[in-house]
Structure formats: structure tokens, C-alpha cells
Amino acid sequence: MSRQPPRAGAPQPVAPGVLRILAPNPSPMTFLGTNSYVLGDRDVAVIDPGPDDPAHLQALLAAIAGRPLRAILVTHAHLDHAALVPALSRRTGAPVMARGPAGAGRSAVMTRLAATGSLGGGEGVMSDFVPAVSLADGEAVSGADWALKVLYTPGHFGNHICLLGAQWGFSGDHVMGWASTLISPPDGDLTDFMASCAQLCERRPPLLLPGHGPVIVGPRDRIDWLLAHRRDREAQIIEALAKGPSTLPRLTARLYADTPENLLPAAARNVLAHLVDLHGRGLVKATPTLTLQARFCLS
């Protein structure tokens, strides 16, 4: 497995039978860029084609190298993972496979909140994403020399899946090594995220190949860190509200005092995810109702 820093567009072996092709879309939210993967030797699958970028499309086609493309697999319907899907499918004729359309998998709570428009959200979503094949939890997808099993992992996004092989798993944005996972309601759901982390831990993959950042060796430790991080953030919110009612902007400023200003909007979405979760568990009240403008207090 290569440990060299990735270069956009250059295929890099990262696991047996797996090439990583880094997309040229670095940002504070995507790190060095989106990791697209080409899996297989005789026939192949592409996991997360990435952003709609002509150079990245050509890099993927070069990595496929004329071999049959059996499947285009999408972990979730954010633009930085899925926007190139139509162009790649047109060029290759390969079927697009995912958990379902962009709105699939939302919990009843998030579906209700999305309908009200009260929480904003929808950042970077490919709203018209619809796969040709909808994959069920536990379903198998295979080629001549590769096999994957679908693990449904809502949390970062309602239609998020991980794809598990015998030696590694593709974790999309559910688990990354470079940062904690953004959870932005109503597309993101903290309650689901915590449960999905536990589900992934039970599968014990030895390696995870994430949607951004380096290969994760020993993913159990990383998942444990993610869960502890969320529990610590919850404790901080409860401690802040124990001192009196507050609003989302005030809580964000307090909890992320050392965060660069350009990252505060994303931080606010993470705080909101906790508040929605705490509200659903009856630990926090929102006045007059659960919106971005609400005043929050302990129940």
C-alpha cells in the first residue's frame, strides 16, 4: 500500500486491487480533494466518481484503461462524490448503484423538519441524483475478481452506504482520518450517525478507504474517537445550556471559539445536529419551535 502523498489525477495503489484517483477539488471541507476509487483487475467498479470535472473524468477513464466497467457505486449524493456520475455513465454505459435517490433514508424526524424548511441545509446536495439500481443493506455486488457487501450507514447523509470487502471497506464520508464527519440536518442525522458507527465497528474492517484523506489503518480506534468526540460535544452543549437558554449562533461561538471564521457555518451545522438529537431525546427544549432561530434550554 502506497504512503506517498496523492497527486490529483494520478492513479495510486492503496490496497490490493484498488487504485485511488484524487479529484482536483481541495477545500476546507474536502481536504486534498475527493478520493475516487477504481476496484478490480479484469472488470472494474468505480466508487464515488467525484465532482463534475472534465480532467477528473479523463483520469478515471485512463485508470479504467478500457476494461469493462461493471458498476458505478456511490456512497452518498453529495456533489463532491456524485456530480460526475452522469458523464461517466454516459461514456461507459455502466449502471449507477446506490442506496437510493438523494432524499432516501431520511428519518421520520428529518423528513418532517425538511418539509417545514425550518432548518435550512441542503449544502452541496445533488438533488436530482437517482441511481439505476437501489442497493439494500446487506446486498452483494461483485465482479470477476472483487466482491463488496453493502452496509447502510445513514448519518452524514440519509442515503449513505459503506461498501465492505474482505480486506478493506470504502467508508465514504462516514469515517475519515483527517477530520470529524460533518452532520448537517436534515440531510445529516446525528442519532443515525452514532448507530451507524456501532454497526460499522461490528464488521471489524482492517482498513477503511475514505472519501477524503488517507487510508485509515485500525479503523476501530478512529470510530471510537469519533463517538467520543460527539459525546464530548454533547456534554459541552448541555453544560452551556445549564447556565441558561441560548441560541445556535451563541452556542457555536462559545464551543468553537478557536475555529477560523470561514469554518463557523459548518460548525454551526454540527451544533444544530446535536440540538436536534437532544430535542428528539427530550433533553432540550426549543422555543417557540425547532428552527434555526429558536432559543434552546434544558428540559
pLDDT tens for the chain, residues 1 to 299? 445 678 888 999 999 999 999 999 999 999 999 999 999 999 999 999 999 999 999 999 999 999 999 999 999 999 999 999 999 999 999 999 999 999 999 988 899 888 888 888 888 999 999 999 999 999 999 999 999 999 999 999 999 999 999 989 999 999 998 999 999 999 999 999 999 999 999 999 999 999 999 999 989 999 999 999 999 999 999 999 999 999 999 999 999 999 999 899 999 999 999 999 999 999 999 999 999 999 999 99
> Does residue 234 lie within any of the structural domains?
no
Residues 108 and 194 in one domain: yes
Domain end among 227, 254, 280: 227
Asked, for residue 38, whether it belongs to a domain, the answer is yes
The closest alpha carbon to 78, from 116, 119, 23, 118, belongs to 23
CATH code of the domain covering residue 44: 3.60.15.10
Shared domain check, 253 and 196: no
User: Domain range for residue 53?
Assistant: 12-227
User: In the listed set 227, 258, 283, which residue is the last one of a domain according to the structure?
Assistant: 227
Number of domains in the chain: 2
**54, 137: one domain:** yes
Res 3: pLDDT: 58
Asked if 37 and 170 sit in the same domain, the reply is yes
Does the residue 7 lie in any domain?
no
**Grid cell locating 245:** 437558554
- Count CB atoms within 10 A of the CB of residue 124: 17
Does residue 235 belong to any structural domain of this protein?
Answer: no
Same domain assignment for residues 92 and 221: yes
Which of 195, 227, 259 is the endpoint of a domain?
A: 227
156 & 275 share domain:
no
Same domain, residue pair 142 and 259 = no
Kindly state whether residues 222 and 251 are assigned to the same domain.
no
pTM: 0.95
Domain assignment present for residue 233? The answer is: no
Same domain, 149 and 42: yes
5 forms bridges with which residues in the sheet? none
Cβ-based neighbours of 251, under 8 Å, separated by 6 or more:
237, 240, 241, 271, 275, 296
**Cell 436534515, residue located:** 186
Domain-located, residue 144: yes
> Does one domain contain both 62 and 199?
yes
Q: Which residue has the cell 432548518?
A: 119
pLDDT score for 172: 98
What single string gives the DSSP state of each residue in 232-275? HHHHHHHHHHHT--EEHHHHHHHHTTTS-GGGHHHHHHHHHHHH
Q: β-strand 147-152 against 161-164: which pairing, if any?
A: antiparallel
- The pLDDT of residue 4 is 65
Is residue 271 one of the residues assigned to a domain?
yes
**Domain co-membership, 171 together with 71:** yes
- Domain membership of residue 126 (yes or no) is yes
Orientation angle between helical segments 190-203 and 264-280, nearest 10 degrees: 90
Judgement on whether residues 251 and 116 belong to the same structural domain of the protein = no
E strands along 64-176, which residues?
69-73, 96-98, 133-134, 140-142, 147-152, 161-164, 169-172
